Amino acid sequence: MNLGLTNFILKTADDSFIVGHRNSEWTGFGPFMEEDIAFASMAQDKIGHAWELYKLIPAPNDQQNYAEWLAFQRPVSDFKVAHLAALPNEGYDFSLIRHFLFDHAEYLRYEMLLSSSFEPLSHLAKKIKGELKFHTMHAETFLFQLANGSVESKARMQAALNYTLPFALGLFETYEGEQEIINAGVFEGEEALKKKWIQRITALINEAGLTLPDLNTIEPVFGGRNGYPSEHLAPLLAEMREVIALDPNAEW
């Protein structure tokens, strides 16, 4: 597997793995029971997506449990997580906006992957795209409800959007080997995905009655794809690895 394809799979998996864990943090703390269950369910889906992606990467020297190693024992500096994914849950307004922006990007990504020349990705996209459709429907439902609620509710949603958007643009950061997979027909590229995403979210945000900040005035938060992880990633991974860190060679 060439470098571009490996990096593409890793970054896609890493984002889902970390966002999945952030979503899971709402378990027991959701604003009401149905939302508690919904975020827990979506967290499970995303971690499952990451697992399926990690398994696509060939294990060096037939290393056992390589997918688990990628998730739980790989050096933090090797992760390719967009900063958006690692941000702590500041509140439900922020988590919902991240959910909306991230899941629409992922839905479109997998929609584009349906025609990927790399068959394992195109086959996986058929399954994951269907699950992500429900995620985007959930995000849109609550975006519209809260943006059209009280004055305070709308103001908080607008503030969360303004804060989160620069991080969301970091989802489309280029990475080493990207041109290789574009040339090979694996994926059309992050710029092509970003254009589709902007068109999609602009229409929905306007319909909800919120205002999309001028994208020409926003500097995307980059670095996560290229060795400059979020300051929040290492503490989060340490928390996620507490059990395996007790004995990395234990068999369960």
**28, amino acid identity:** G
What DSSP designation does 165 have?
H
Token pair belonging to 44: 């499970």
Token pair belonging to 140: 């849109």
Q: What Cα–Cα distance (Å) separates residue 16 from each residue in 86, 150, 196, 250?
A: 10, 32, 20, 26
Token pair belonging to 47: 């971690």
Q: What Cα–Cα distance (Å) separates residue 22 from each residue in 141, 164, 219?
A: 20, 15, 24
The pTM of the full predicted model, rounded to 2 decimals, is 0.94
CA distance 130 to 127: 6
> For the purposes of burial, counting CB atoms within 10 Å of the CB of 128, is it exposed (0-12), middle (13-18) or buried (19 or more)?
buried
Q: Which CATH superfamily is domain 3-246 in?
A: Ferritin, core subunit, four-helix bundle (1.20.1260.10)
Per-residue pLDDT at 241: 86
What DSSP designation does 251 have?
-
Instruction: Give the domain ranges of the chain.
Output: 3-246
Q: What are the 10-residue block averages of pLDDT along the chain, 252 residues in total?
A: 95 97 80 74 94 95 88 94 95 94 98 98 95 94 93 96 98 97 98 98 97 95 95 94 73 58
CA distance 74 to 157: 36
